[in-house]
Amino acid sequence: MDMNVQEMIFEFIGGLGIFLFGIKYMGDGLQNAAGDRLKNILDRFTTNPFMGVLAGIFITALIQSSSGTTALTVALVSAGFMKLRQAIGVIMGANIGTTVTAFIIGIDIGAYALPIIALGAILLFFFNKRAINALGQIVFGFGALFLGLELMSGGMKPLRSLEAFQDLTVSMSDNPILGVVIGTIFTVIVQSSSATIGILQELFGTGAIDLKASLPVLFGDNIGTTITAVLAAIGTSISARRAASVHVMFNLIGTFIFMILLIPFTNFIGYLQGVLNLNPEMTIAFAHGIFNVSNTIIQFPFIGALAWIVTKIIPGEEKHVDMTVQHLNPKLIEHSPSVALGQAKEEILRMGSFAKDGLAEAIHFLNTQDKSNASLAYQYEEAINKLDKAITDYLVKVSKSSLTPEHSEEHMNYMNIIRDIERVGDHTENIIELLELRTTRKAPLSADALGELNEMFQLTLDTLNHALEALSKKDLTLANEVLSKEVKIDQMEKDFRKTHILRLNEGACTGDAGILYVDVISNLERIGDHAVNIAQAVLGEQKAPNVSS
Asked if 481 and 532 count as a contact pair (C-beta separation under 8 A), the reply is no
Specify the pLDDT at position 247.
85
Instruction: Please provide the average confidence, as pLDDT, over all residues in the chain.
Output: 83
Instruction: Tell me the helix, strand and coil percentages in the chain, rounded to 5.
Output: 85, 0, 15
Q: What is the dihedral of CA 362, 366, 369, 370, to 10 degrees?
A: -30
**What's the confidence (pLDDT) of residue 121?**
94
Quote the pLDDT of residue 286.
Answer: 93
- Tell me how far apart the alpha carbons of residues 90 and 226 are, in angstroms, rounded to a whole number: 14
Length of the chain: 549
Q: Contact 229/247 with Cβ under 8 angstroms?
A: yes
Residue 78 phi/psi, 5° resolution? -60, -35
| Of 32-41, 66-75, 267-276, the least confident | 32-41
- The answer to whether the CB of 137 falls within 8 A of the CB of 7 is no
Write the CA distances from 430 to 37, 88, 105, 425, 479, integer angstroms.
24, 33, 46, 9, 26
Contact present, 201 and 284 (Cβ < 8 Å)? yes
pLDDT in tens, 93-138: 988 988 888 888 887 776 788 999 999 999 999 988 888 988 899 8
Supply the pLDDT for residue 257.
93
**Chain centroid, CA 303 distance in Å:** 21
pLDDT value, residue 544: 41
Q: What is the pLDDT of residues 350-379, one digit of tens each?
A: 899 999 999 898 888 888 888 778 888 888
Angle between helices 84-97 and 99-106 (to 10 degrees): 10
Using an 8 Å Cβ cutoff, are 65 and 27 in contact?
A: yes
pLDDT in the model for residue 321: 64
What is the DSSP track for 481-501? HHHHHHHHHHHHHHHHHHHHH
pLDDT at residue 545 in the model: 46
DSSP assignments along 433-485, one per residue: HHHHHHHHTT-PPPHHHHHHHHHHHHHHHHHHHHHHHHHHHT-HHHHHHHHHH
Among residues of the chain, what percentage have pLDDT more than 70?
89
- % of the chain with per-residue pLDDT over 90: 16
pLDDT confidence of residue 237: 67
Q: Which of 218, 301, 276, 240 is nearest to 80 (CA)?
A: 240
pLDDT for 1 = 44
**Whether pLDDT at 253 is above 90:** yes
Find the DSSP H helices in 64-129. Answer: 66-78, 84-97, 99-106, 113-125
Q: How far apart are alpha carbons 217 and 226 in whole angstroms?
A: 15
Of the candidate ranges 2-6, 116-120, 307-311, the one whose mean pLDDT is the lowest: 2-6
Distances from the Cα of 367 to the Cα of 6, 493, 509, 514, angstroms: 54, 20, 18, 17
Residue 254 has a pLDDT of 92
When mean pLDDT is compared across 361-365, 440-444, 491-495, 502-506, the lowest value belongs to 440-444
Catalogue the E-assigned strands of 276-372. Answer: none
Q: Are 355 and 384 in contact (CB under 8 A)?
A: yes
Asked if residue 278 has pLDDT above 60, the reply is: yes
pLDDT of 80 strictly over 80: no
Whole-angstrom distance, CA of residue 186 vs CA of residue 172 = 15
For 140, the enclosing helix (H) or strand (E) is: helix 130-156
Query: What would the pLDDT profile of 317-349 be if each residue is shown by its tens digit?
Result: 656 666 667 667 777 777 777 788 888 888 888
The residue-averaged pLDDT of 483-505 equals 88
DSSP annotation string for 374-422: HHHHHHHHHHHHHHHHHHHHHHHHHHTS---HHHHHHHHHHHHHHHHHH
Q: Taking CA 197 as the corner, what is the angle to CA 233 and CA 35, rounded to the nearest 5 degrees?
A: 55
Lowest mean pLDDT among 28-42, 90-104, 470-484: 28-42
Least-confidence region, from 234-243, 245-254, 496-505:
234-243
Give me the pLDDT at residue 290, please: 93
The CA–CA distances, whole Å, from 515 to 217, 257, 459, 495 equal 53, 58, 21, 16
Q: What is the mean pLDDT of residues 383-388?
A: 88
Instruction: Give the count of beta carbons closer than 10 Å to the beta carbon of residue 363.
Output: 18
pLDDT given at position 78: 65
User: What's residue 3's pLDDT?
Assistant: 52
- What's residue 377's pLDDT? 86
pLDDT of amino acid 505: 84
pLDDT at 322: 66
| Angstrom distances, CA of residue 16 to CA of 192, 203, 461, 515 | 11, 14, 55, 44
Does the pLDDT value for residue 516 go beyond 90?
A: no
Which tens digit of pLDDT belongs to each residue from 529-543? Answer: 999 998 988 887 544
pTM (whole model) above 0.75: no
Residue 86 in this model has a pLDDT that exceeds 80: yes
Residue predicted with more confidence, 431 or 549: 431
The total of other beta-carbon atoms located within 10 Å of residue 405's CB is 7
Closest CA to 443 of 379, 509, 524, 513: 513
Q: Per-residue pLDDT for 385 more than 60?
A: yes
